[in-house]
Amino acid sequence: MSAVPSATGAPLLRVGSLRKAFGGVKAVDDVSFELVPGELLALIGPNGAGKSTCFNCINGQLRPDHGRVLLAGTDLVGRPPREIWRLGVGRTFQIAATWASMTVAENVQLALLSHAGLLGRWWGRASEMKRDEAIALLDAVGLAAMADQPCGALAYGDVKRVELAIALANGPRLLLMDEPTAGMAPRERNELVGLVKRLVRERGIGVLFTEHSMDVVFEYADRIIVLARGRLIAEGVPEAIRDDAQVREVYFGSTGVPGAAGARASAAAARAAGQA
């Protein structure tokens, strides 16, 4: 594994004073952070903290009420999602992104052709266009042996790997991963996030991800930012976040019963704290 990306490197993503409200709910409330190339930055917080809203403001699905989102200096605010995708912001693990009846290789070939603006040239199942490139990507995610299987026949964890290959086919500079391991068993979660970390380090891609398993977050994130009720309450390396009093308060709570995610996070944080 290569070294942790330098904190002094030029930021790939700069989010400044981001705000988004729904009626009276301040879903994202004055959030600022930066991310450098090759970095795996975890965005954590209880259910409803504003994580997905933050993602949606970055990739153009929502327009923020206020603030800046700069990708290598280019302001993304106000641009449609398709344009933001073309500028190099990928989003992974939307299940609809794979075609169950097509083979694993064909799914990745389509993504490569789409990225190259050649989708109109696709002329059927026998196409060899971009096949070598597709196989190379499948090799990178450990799925070359499955290249000619229909996607619909794959195990859930393998579909996630295909989605990762599809995301990489678009040549992203920044990958947004909103709960990429949802529904996966603990061992699969570790394998997938470990794989992502290796690949993005090699390629210098920045990753912003959310993850409810604190075990996975503490194991793989280079840095962590913590949201609670839309506010950024902590930011730092995993060891610092683990010891942060405010973060413990949010996860363990002093007043109420934690929600489902809070309970999951609390149990994991308790285990993590026990190991500290």
Residue 134 identity (one-letter amino acid): A
* Identity of the residue, 23 or 124, whose beta carbon is nearer to ligand ATP in the bound complex: 23
Q: From the list ligand ATP, Mg ion, none, which binds 156 (C-beta under 5 to 8 Å, kind-based)?
A: none
b/e string for 240-260 if b means 16 or more Cβ within 10 A?
ebbebeebbebbeeeeeebee
Which span sits near ligand ATP by CB under 6 A: 41-49, 109-117, 185-193, 196-204? 41-49
- The contact mask relative to ligand ATP for 46-85 (x = CB under 6 A, - = no) is -xxxxxxx--------------------------------
Question: Binding mask 200-239 vs ligand ATP (x if CB under 6 A, - otherwise)?
Answer: ----------------------------------------
Report the nearest approach of Mg ion to the CB of residue 77 (Å).
21
For ligand ATP, the closer CB: 25 or 119: 25
Residue 52 interacts with Mg ion (CB under 5 A): yes or no: yes
Decide whether 19 or 131 has the Cβ nearer to ligand ATP.
Answer: 19
Shortest Å distance, C-beta 77 to ligand ATP: 17
Does residue 61 interact with Mg ion by CB under 5 A? no
Q: What does 113 interact with, of Mg ion, ligand ATP, none (CB < 5 to 8 A by kind)?
A: none
104-115 and 131-140 are packed helices; what angle lies between their axes, rounded to 10 degrees? 110
Interface region with ligand ATP, contact rule CB under 6 A, candidates 21-29, 106-114, 152-160, 200-208: 21-29
CB of 52 to ligand ATP, least distance (A): 3
- DSSP characters over the chain: -PPPPPTTSPPSEEEEEEEEEETTEEEEEEEEEEE-TT-EEEEE-STTSSHHHHHHHHTTSS--SEEEEEETTEE-TT--HHHHHHTTEEE---GGGS-TTSBHHHHHHHHHHHHTT-GGG---TT--TTHHHHHHHHHHTT-GGGTTSBGGGS-HHHHHHHHHHHHHHT--SEEEEESTTTT--HHHHHHHHHHHHHHHHHHT-EEEEE-S-HHHHHHH-SEEEEEETTEEEEEE-HHHHHT-HHHHHHHH-SSS---HHHHHHHHHHHHHHHH-
Question: Which residue sits closest to Mg ion, CB atoms considered?
Answer: 52
How many amino acids of this chain bind ligand ATP (CB under 6 A)? 12
Name which of residues 246 to 265 contact ligand ATP (CB under 6 A).
Answer: 261
Q: How far is the CB of 27 from Mg ion (least distance, A)?
A: 10
Distance CA 263, CA 43 (A): 17
CB of 89 to ligand ATP, least distance (A): 18
Which residues bind to Mg ion, rule: CB under 5 A?
51-52
Which residues bind to ligand ATP, rule: CB under 6 A?
22, 25, 27, 45, 47-53, 261
